Structure 1
Amino acid sequence: MHNTEFLIRQKRLLEKMQPNSICLVQASNLVTRSRDTEYPFRQDSYFQYLCAFPEPEAWLVLSNHQDYSKELCVLFCLDKDPAMEIWHGRRFGPKQAKQQYPVDRAYALDELDEQLLDLIDGHQHVYFAQGHDHDADDLVFSLLQALRDAPKQSKHAPSSLIDVRIILDEMRLIKSAREIDLMRKAAAVATQAHIRAMQFVEAGKNEYHLEAEIHHEFAMQGAKYPAYSTIVGAGDNACILHYTENNQGLKSGDLVLIDAGCEWQGYASDITRTFPVSGAFSNEQKQLYELVLNAQLAAFNVIKPDNTIKQASDVVIAVITQGLIDLGILKGKLTDNIERQTYRQFYMHGLSHWLGLDVHDVGNYKIDGQDRPLKTGMVLTVEPGIYIAPDADVDSKWCGIGIRIEDNLLITQSGHENLTLAAPKTISDIEALMSKKSG
């Protein structure tokens, strides 16, 4: 992504801050996996959103102080260190960072305490994600106290501390054209991975074989990491919503539910498809699958500007509940079942969540207690499901079947664009694709 995009975001943030304010944003730190090894590094999403500097232990400082001729952006990062770089990889260092990233100044991290004290001095407001990182909290609070304790040195401590996430979450909720391009790519890569899994599956293989195929497709297309822990649930494992063990065998006659998405330049995709191990749905599987698909398509009719996620969710609940009544899984009238929420024993999760730099992206779902209207540029998932546990008190022919269908929708002026439409989901399309096995 070009630096111009980040400069626009920085300027918008500064304009939304109160006058004479300073904003402090910390990068992610390395997280220990065991002894002297770390988990793969992923940059903090807020930090990524504002400058995309890819290294840990960095800080970004933005100021709209009245004494500056223009807004100021300062980066603190690890300094060049040949000995450390031999072991842990190259660093940009302040000089190169200033040349390549959208900042006005760059300093070594060793200068953070001293420089940050001077930078904060004289500002009236500090914007900071308090509670996001305890070490960062300690540093900021100690600097504020140092300013309060130094009136004889003509130091002036800010009078208020404001959560910057209130502003940034709203900014991140509406995607720019460039962000949408990246999300289309993330969706396209994940779509191909799901297609690959459908063509690879067969009885006798293991859930982890499908997981490996999916991750291999991600990596081969340049998406090095999944956006979240991949779910491959075969048989009644599909009834466990966040099943991630992925270590059971695949049996003929079972369905397998795969919930998997990749991360492309920081942006997530999130797709779920459910398909038969043998390549053909049984009669019971077909009936439940068509019910979930019809519920999703009914939701799609509602997903458009000025409508709400709750409106779509209410439609899905009505479709699923009536369908379960028609199949004899629920008893009684539709209105009574909805009022008593009997459907929740089979459909127990929400319909949707925001999607972006985080797979469960930021942004409030309500405004002043009211459901938030959808707006052009939002991206969200739509993911109805039905999960009938092995021990459910229903006819045994339904037991152990879990189905979810999930797509990623971009809200447009005229309605929505399904970013994951190319991942097959009708019964005929799935069975046709699976008849062409990759071996």
Structure 2
Amino acid sequence: MASAAPQELKATELYNRLQNEQQVVKDFWVHIDSSSPLEKYPAKQHAQRVAQKLKASKGLIYLPGAPTEYEEDSDQPKPFRQRRYFYYLSGVNETDCHLAYDINEDTLTLFIPKIDPTTVIWNGRGSTRAEAFDKYDVDEVHFTTSVSNFVKAWPLSHEGDIYILHPDQAAIPGQEKHPRVDHEKLQLAINSARMIKDSHEIGLIRKANEITAKAHREVLLNILKFKNESQVEAIFLDACVAEGAKHQAYEVIAASGVNASTLHYIKNDEPLKGRQMMCLDAGCEWECYASDVTRSFPLSGSWPSKEAKQIYDLVQTMQNCCIKRLAPRVRYLDLHILAHQIAIGGLLALGILHNGSPEEIYRAGTSRAFFPHGLGHHIGLEVHDIGQRELMSLSEDEIFDSSNAQASSKYSPNYHLPVFNSGLCLSPTDPQSPALEEGMIVTVEPGIYFSLYALETLYLPSPVHSKYINKDVLSRYIPVGGVRIEDDILITARGYQNLTTAPKGEEMLNIIKSEAKRNAPEKDASITTTAPVGRFGKSSLETFVEPSQPSPLMQKPAPRMRGTDACRYCRTRKVGNTMILWTSNDLLEHLLISTVTMLSPSNTR
């Protein structure tokens, strides 16, 4: 007997039936099983966009992926990092692949290596042709053994040029010299396309920022426990890897105290003791897309000095004012100028700058002593997405759209020169970059730094700058090191959206404060409770750790000892040159501190 066909139940019938059964229905959920991704990386769309930028209706775009490479004189492979131009047109993060896009036929072909059964047991395997076709947004998949013949035969039966990225990336050695092979236009076209992110790319950068924010929060929750910069780097990496983000967009910068005056400090190995602030510049990658986030915060439960808070507030003002002005058709370089103007006003108010008007100091370029880098840069497949040199060519090359024309400015020509450094100001912080457009993602990362080396070697010896710098006031700010605050901002049709959710400002400080209260010891923090057995049975001078906040004993002169060597202010006795604490049952508990540092000669007998 044949089984009855299952009865089809329409959504409206299901809703009515559940309503009759007094069930509350607000949403319908549909579960779909799929053997391939429901949303693939839009490689085909990217290839079409690049062809539009090339203004070519015919031709072949050829790109090789990153090959397997080994360390010099070693059998250990180098860490794999896919070529970003290849990834933009393929979405493939596997080794030894190639890509070809026929512009006229609108066909995207992926070439993958054959699987070697003898190496699978060691290194695993890449995708099969069927798997690659399911995973990637391509039209055809072939083996890499056929790529040379494919590219060699293509011009014999097709019109148009073969576009390659660099002369050394031709599919066939020597082919770069062929008159129909172009190695100049493709990089510019891809750069122009990459400036505008589609919804898929925005989602990847947003995801990278979400993980990065969690990692920054983990640092704040634990910072009071740490003794060394290396611990900050370690917990940040741990938090990212735990979320599936194994790769960082750049090396972690965990700079404490004066180390924060070095913009790309990556040693991350110095003790935190005695330092006021930390500048943590760190961001992970998610599926090859970068995040770039910087937070500066105190290394204690409160601001360590008024100078530290003043500089933080100034940098936060610089960032807030610049972010509020982000929108399509804005010239980013104008915001860089604005950031310098705010910095000059703030440094004048603090007394670090003097003897001149804001305009005089601006035209002298003295603010670059404290804010030497650009306000921000593009971010995407690279943390510094798209090189400045290539973008500067956009306004000179006829292959690009008029929308990429040089942005107009509200300032007079060359007004940016005193605060512009072509080596440190990346696109779009340069005069040749186009105006901001919807879909761009840029960082906004102002900073104020006190680099003693730069000040002493470049600015203080200069009569142009030294007259504006108050050395007496400056000396109080040197221990701050540097403060930088950085967010990743999406340009939208009506303005902007901040993709970065890592805590900053009061939220950041409240996290540190809450942990300080929760972990506050019941006894004086200056008393060491655990230590190796030493001279007096329980503790030794070598294990004493200076408290973050001075104890009452350290805030006033120690009292004079009487005949019994007993202290009239606390339950202590003097043994030799050491003050020790005794309990009611006369047992030694804790070593307080050596009289070499605690007591002056006039206070001891």
Instruction: Normalising by structure 2, report the TM-score.
Output: 0.66
CA deviation map 1:222-247 (0-9, x unaligned): 11111111100001110000100111
Match of 1:284 in 2: 307
Match of 1:367 in 2: 395
Q: CA deviation at 1:141?
A: 5.0
Match of 1:432 in 2: 510
Provide the rounded CA distance (Å) in 2 between the counterparts of 1:99 and 1:120.
29
Paired amino acid for 1:92: S
Local SS of the residue matching 1:275: strand
Unaligned runs of 5+ in 1: 149-156
Q: CA deviation at 1:346?
A: 1.0
Considering only CA atoms, is the larger Rg found in Structure 1 or Structure 2? 2
Provide the rounded CA distance (Å) in 2 between the counterparts of 1:85 and 1:204.
43
Contact 2:101–2:107 at 8 Å: present in 1 too?
yes
Matched, 1:119 2:197: no
1:299 aligns with one of 322, 325, 331? 322
Match of 1:128 in 2: 164
Contact 1:289–1:403 at 8 Å: present in 2 too?
yes
Match of 1:388 in 2: 450
Q: CA deviation at 1:356?
A: 0.8
Provide the rounded CA distance (Å) in 2 between the counterparts of 1:295 and 1:92.
49
CA deviation map 1:95-152 (0-9, x unaligned): 5423432333322222222222112434431211115xx3x24x4452366xx6xxxx
Q: 1:384 to 1:4 in 2, by over 3 A?
A: closer
CA deviation map 1:305-364 (0-9, x unaligned): 111111111110000011111112112111011001001111100001001111111272
Provide the rounded CA distance (Å) in 1 between the counterparts of 2:341 and 2:365.
11
Q: CA deviation at 1:90?
A: 1.0
Larger CA deviation: 365-374 vs 392-401:
365-374
2:137 aligns with one of 94, 99, 102? 102
Matched, 1:89 2:111: no
2:347 aligns with one of 320, 324, 333? 324
Provide the rounded CA distance (Å) in 1 between the counterparts of 2:310 and 2:134.
59
Local SS of the residue matching 1:241: coil
Matches within 5 A, 1:230-241: 230-241=252-263
Larger CA deviation: 22-31 vs 314-323:
22-31
Q: CA deviation at 1:4?
A: 6.9
Matched, 1:10 2:90: no
Q: 1:231 to 1:120 in 2, by over 3 A?
A: farther
Provide the rounded CA distance (Å) in 1 between the counterparts of 2:274 and 2:372.
27
Local SS of the residue matching 1:38: coil
Q: CA deviation at 1:430?
A: 2.4
Provide the rounded CA distance (Å) in 1 between the counterparts of 2:440 and 2:511.
31
Q: 1:78 to 1:249 in 2, by over 3 A?
A: same
Provide the rounded CA distance (Å) in 1 between the counterparts of 2:236 and 2:46.
34
Q: 1:305 to 1:20 in 2, by over 3 A?
A: closer
Contact 2:256–2:275 at 8 Å: present in 1 too?
no
Larger CA deviation: 323-332 vs 92-101:
92-101
Q: 1:107 to 1:287 in 2, by over 3 A?
A: same
Provide the rounded CA distance (Å) in 1 between the counterparts of 2:82 and 2:90.
11
Identity between Structure 1 and Structure 2 (%):
31
1:340 aligns with one of 326, 350, 364? 364
Q: CA deviation at 1:29?
A: 2.0
Q: 1:123 to 1:85 in 2, by over 3 A?
A: farther
Match of 2:428 in 1: none
Larger CA deviation: 237-246 vs 20-29:
20-29
Paired amino acid for 2:138: V
Q: CA deviation at 1:404?
A: 0.4
Match of 1:73 in 2: 108
Contact 2:330–2:435 at 8 Å: present in 1 too?
yes
Q: CA deviation at 1:431?
A: 2.2
Q: CA deviation at 1:292?
A: 0.7
Q: CA deviation at 1:195?
A: 1.2
Instruction: Normalising by structure 1, report the TM-score.
Output: 0.89
CA deviation map 1:391-431 (0-9, x unaligned): 646332111321101011111111111111x32221x3222
Paired amino acid for 2:490: L
Matches within 5 A, 1:177-326: 177-202=199-224, 205-281=227-303, 282-326=305-349
Contact 1:203–1:252 at 8 Å: present in 2 too?
no
2:180 aligns with one of 158, 167, 173? 158
2:88 aligns with one of 49, 58, 68? 49
Paired amino acid for 2:61: C
Paired amino acid for 1:402: G
Matches within 5 A, 1:29-40: 29-33=67-71, 35-40=74-79
Local SS of the residue matching 1:434: helix
Contact 2:97–2:144 at 8 Å: present in 1 too?
yes
Match of 2:438 in 1: 376
Provide the rounded CA distance (Å) in 2 between the counterparts of 1:383 and 1:15.
33
Paired amino acid for 2:289: Y
When the two chains are superposed, the root-mean-square deviation of aligned CA atoms in Å is: 2.2
Match of 2:486 in 1: 406
Larger CA deviation: 122-131 vs 249-258:
122-131
Q: How many residues align?
A: 419
Q: CA deviation at 1:251?
A: 1.9
Provide the rounded CA distance (Å) in 2 between the counterparts of 1:159 and 1:231.
42
CA deviation map 1:44-81 (0-9, x unaligned): 1122121212211211011134xxxx322222221111
Unaligned runs of 5+ in 2: 1-36, 397-405, 408-430, 461-470, 520-605
Matched, 1:62 2:128: no
Q: 1:97 to 1:245 in 2, by over 3 A?
A: same
Q: 1:252 to 1:279 in 2, by over 3 A?
A: farther
Paired amino acid for 2:145: D
Q: CA deviation at 1:249?
A: 0.8
Provide the rounded CA distance (Å) in 2 between the counterparts of 1:55 and 1:141.
23
